[in-house]
């Protein structure tokens, strides 16, 4: 972000959303890129399709360990699903509803977390600095895309959807857990060390892994790392967060159920809105013409 470029006018963004797209309550209408669209789920059938997609990716593909109830349903389901907003990428060439769901992100606002009594990240991190942030916060999680649709274009569409949601709900800070695919942190020693030394959150915004789950991220000497190669080796989702200028929490966490090593991600939303605003604004204005 350059010093002489003004921050996006979020209220103007909201007016454009209201003028150009149907308001479906907590959603923002639908943004399209060819035959793909991104929007918020509006029916139980669409949420079921999200849970089925998560099952295929997390359990069948990534070999997470399901509970007996989840295995019986062949769905990735938890208590947060009932209160969250579920962002969908839909392939209209297949169908405009649940049959076309090929990507998802789970979005949990403060009011939804209060209904449950906690955020999902509370199981891994002390997020008190984030919950106490002076502004509205949003937890991101359960991101996945069908194997046939994993492309830069689909990820960009998801981020545009998040930008629209941020405009719609005046979100100031986003956070969540991002995963490295292994339960052995030394498999990602260079990457964890790189993230700690280059992207550690400032103290006022720094979640810390719970003491009983804390895994040291500083696993190598920084001078022993090829930083350019290490950054390139990070999973695409974490690289996407870094492109937005994200911060990283202190300490990794092993998620034994999902076979991952997790890190905490913190993003101030002026970074995402500044990055996507102009493209997003042009699309909305085109819809009005």
pLDDT averages per 10-residue partition of the chain, 289 residues: 35 40 70 96 97 97 92 95 97 97 97 95 97 94 96 90 91 96 97 98 97 98 96 94 93 96 94 58 48
pTM: 0.86
Judge residue 5's burial from the number of C-beta atoms within 10 Å of its C-beta, 0-12 exposed, 13-18 middle, 19 or more buried: exposed
Q: What is the pLDDT of residue 26?
A: 80
Q: Around 78, how many Cα atoms within 13 Å sit in the side-chain half-sphere?
A: 13
Is 172 within 8 Å of 271 (Cβ atoms)?
no
176: phi then psi, degrees, rounded to nearest 5: 170, -170
Q: What is the pLDDT of residue 152?
A: 87
Residue 230 CA, chain-centre distance (Å), reads 22
Q: Where are the domains of the chain?
A: 10-288
Is 86 within 8 Å of 50 (Cβ atoms)?
yes
Sign of torsion, CA 249 178 164 25? Answer: negative
CATH of 10-288 given 3.40.30.10, 1.20.1290.10, 3.40.630.30, 3.40.50.410: 3.40.630.30
74: phi then psi, degrees, rounded to nearest 5: 55, 45
**First CA to last CA across the chain, in angstroms?**
30
Q: What is the pLDDT of residue 69?
A: 86
Cα(86)–Cα(82) distance, rounded to whole angstroms? 10
Cα(47)–Cα(241) distance, rounded to whole angstroms? 25
Alpha-carbon distances of 5 from 88, 145, 170, rounded to whole Å: 32, 34, 20
Q: b or e along 138-173 (b: 16 or more beta carbons within 10 Å of the residue's beta carbon)?
A: bbbbbbbbbeeeeeeebbebbbbbbbbbbbbbebbb
Cα(93)–Cα(128) distance, rounded to whole angstroms? 44
Tokens of 284: 């909305």
Q: What is the pLDDT of residue 270?
A: 80
Nearest to 263 by CA among 153, 182, 170: 182
Q: What is the pLDDT of residue 281?
A: 53
């Amino acid at each position: 972000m350059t010093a002489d470029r003004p921050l996006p006018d979020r209220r103007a963004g909201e007016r454009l959303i209201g003028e150009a797209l149907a308001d479906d309550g907590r959603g923002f209408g639908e943004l399209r890129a060819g035959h793909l669209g991104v929007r918020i789920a509006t029916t139980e059938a669409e949420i079921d399709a999200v849970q089925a997609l998560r099952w295929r990716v997390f359990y069948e593909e990534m070999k997470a360990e399901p509970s007996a109830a989840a295995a019986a349903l062949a769905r990735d389901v938890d208590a947060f699903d009932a209160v969250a907003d579920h962002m969908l990428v839909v392939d209209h060439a297949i169908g405009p509803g649940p049959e076309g769901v090929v990507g998802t992100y789970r979005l949990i606002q403060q009011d939804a977390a209060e209904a449950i009594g906690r955020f999902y990240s509370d199981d891994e991190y002390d997020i008190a600095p984030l919950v106490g942030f002076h502004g509205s916060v949003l937890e991101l999680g359960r991101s996945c895309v069908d194997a046939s649709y994993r492309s830069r274009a689909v990820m960009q569409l998801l981020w545009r959807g998040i930008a629209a949601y941020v405009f719609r709900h005046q979100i100031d800070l986003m956070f969540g857990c991002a995963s490295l695919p292994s339960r052995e942190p030394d498999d990602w020693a260079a990457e964890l060390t790189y993230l700690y030394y280059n992207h550690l959150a400032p103290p006022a915004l720094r979640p810390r892994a719970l003491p009983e789950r804390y895994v040291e991220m500083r696993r190598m000497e920084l001078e022993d790392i090829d930083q350019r190669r290490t950054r390139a080796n990070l999973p695409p989702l974490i690289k996407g967060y870094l492109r937005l200028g994200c911060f990283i929490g202190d300490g990794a966490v092993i998620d034994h159920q999902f076979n991952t090593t997790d890190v905490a991600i913190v993003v101030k939303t002026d970074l995402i809105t500044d990055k996507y605003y102009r493209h997003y604004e042009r699309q909305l204005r085109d819809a009005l013409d």
